[in-house]
């Protein structure tokens, strides 16, 4: 199974994530899928927080 997300939401979260920070756990983006249709995307640097929703497109692998 392959999942596709919008890059605009991921880029917005990356803008808010820390870069070259000593707090390694703030470097990156968190993607949480609690609903089969919507993913939550998070990014923070410790001062600002981005939280966005992104629709999920699921591509099923062809069966052999």
Supply the pLDDT for residue 51: 93
Residue 42 has pLDDT above 80, yes or no: yes
- Distance between CA atoms of residues 8 and 50, nearest Å: 13
pTM above 0.85, yes or no: no
Predicted confidence (pLDDT) at residue 19 exceeds the cutoff of 80: yes
Contact 45, 21 (CB under 8 A): yes
Going by pLDDT thresholds of 50, 70 and 90, the confidence category of residue 53 is very high
pLDDT at 35 over 90: no
What pLDDT is recorded for position 24? 77
């Amino acid at each position: 199974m392959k999942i596709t997300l919008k890059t605009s939401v991921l880029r917005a979260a990356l803008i808010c994530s820390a870069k070259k920070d000593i707090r390694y756990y703030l470097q990156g983006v968190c993607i949480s899928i609690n609903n089969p249709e919507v993913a939550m995307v998070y990014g923070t640097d410790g001062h600002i927080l981005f939280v966005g929703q992104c629709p999920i497109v699921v591509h099923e692998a062809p069966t052999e």
